[in-house]
Amino acid sequence: MNDTVHTCSFCGASQAPDTPLIAGLDGHICEACVTLAHQVVSSWGRARALSGPLKSPPKPLQIKEQLDRYVIGQEAAKESLAVAVYNHYKRLAAESKNPRRSLDDDDRVEIDKSNILLLGPSGTGKTLLASTLARIVGVPFVIADATTLTQAGYVGEDVESILGRLLDAANGSREVAEWGMVYIDEVDKLARQGETAHGTRDVSGEGVQQALLKLVEGTQVKINPKGRKDSGDGALIDTRNILFLVGGAFAGLEKLLTRRLRPGPSGIGFQADVGARNEDDKRRDPELYRETHPDDLRQFGLIPEFIGRFPVLVGLHDLDEAALVRILTEPKNALIRQYQQLFAFEGVQLEFTPEAMTAIARKAIDRGTGARGLRSVLEGLLQRPMFELPSMTDVVGCQVDVETVEGTGPVHWIHGSEDEAERASAGG
């Protein structure tokens, strides 16, 4: 009988009933060292897969410059996103260059992630910021819709399906997916509704918030090849290093903010100054959402545990007339350029007068849908010209002025003969 007590060749732990050792040809290894070795090898795999992006991670100023090419305004939101992405890259780079190699590495500072919550009125650029960010980052990035998620056990998608999509974005590499980024849109639709009139459960509201808690903070989830949680064989994804961003319009939140920031007169009866309060309600402060506190979100219907997992609150403001005019012309994929390209396919040059673009922005503001209203205004404005243009001949230009936008006049077609006459008069 062999009574020799073996020790771990890595950490020196002695063999015991609660500390079994795996025997090799020339040594032994304990469970803790096996786990540590697995983490180190996994970090090597991630570093190899992300060697390109990690060689030259973009700095916050560079990220913001790229966002500026597509998104107008919202400077504070772009700066916050740029810092979050840069810190995410730095975390990846630090872990790939210096992974934890020993169990007693107590002096190492582990950097936690700071998840972000974007909130602001509809049409202010939340989804555009996230989709543009997807073009910039070199890590896997997915955009999910909170309205399609339901509590586990009910018809609909489980929250774990987000990780399945992230795994697909990483081309099936679990190590790379664990360093990815996730944006969940329409998160305000998860606000707690309570029991409905029919007594049914709020399975797509508070239940989804509860299911997202561990996923956002950090847990291990087994994902099968179809992207659903499964007890069988599948990839075990650790979400501790996945950066989560959520966004929503939070319609009605401005009333809570206004009530807290600018409380109305307390008088009642004949002495109450009702007219002044009504006038204030009609004018929404464009910077109002930047004053959002966690307690405001709790009153809106988000549970405190969910709010606490998003320490960075980024409020987007309403776009004014000048910003909407810039959106029409300045971004790389500006709406005016898109419609000019459509007309160029027919050999026609489309032009807008400055007064016409200002009138378009004013109509979009009246519709209350932010930048999304610009496309609907342009579609209604150019629908008839685009219907007639393919059948017209000898047309080289189309001009839209303020009368056209306001509906008091048609578009001005420029024919080839008119264009030649204008050139001759200008030369003479």
- CA distances, 298 to each of 206, 253, 294 (Å): 12, 11, 6
398 is in an annotated binding site: no
User: From CA 30, how far away is CA 349, in angstroms rounded?
Assistant: 74
Token digits for 311? 């320490």
Query: What does the DSSP 8-state code read for residue 147?
Result: G
Neighbours of 91 (CB within 10 A): 17
In a 13 Å sphere around the CA of 98, the CA atoms on its Cβ side amount to 9
CB 160 within 8 A of CB 216: no
Tokens of 221: 């989830």
Answer yes or no: are the C-beta atoms of 357 and 328 closer than 8 Å: yes
- Residues 130 and 185: their CA atoms lie apart, in Å, by 9
Residue 8 counted as an annotated binding residue:
yes
Report yes or no: 298 and 307 within 8 Å, Cβ to Cβ: yes
The alpha carbon of residue 89 and the mean position of all alpha carbons in its chain are separated, in whole angstroms, by 17
- How far apart, in whole angstroms, are the C-alpha atoms of residue 229 and residue 166? 14
Beta carbons of 42 and 63 less than 8 angstroms apart: no
255 and 292 in contact (C-beta within 8 Å)?
no
Query: How far is 389 from 403, CA to CA, in rounded Å?
Result: 20
Of 334, 86, 336, 243, the C-alpha closest to 78 is 86
Residue positions in the annotated binding site? 8, 11, 30, 33
Binding positions for Zn(2+): 8, 11, 30, 33
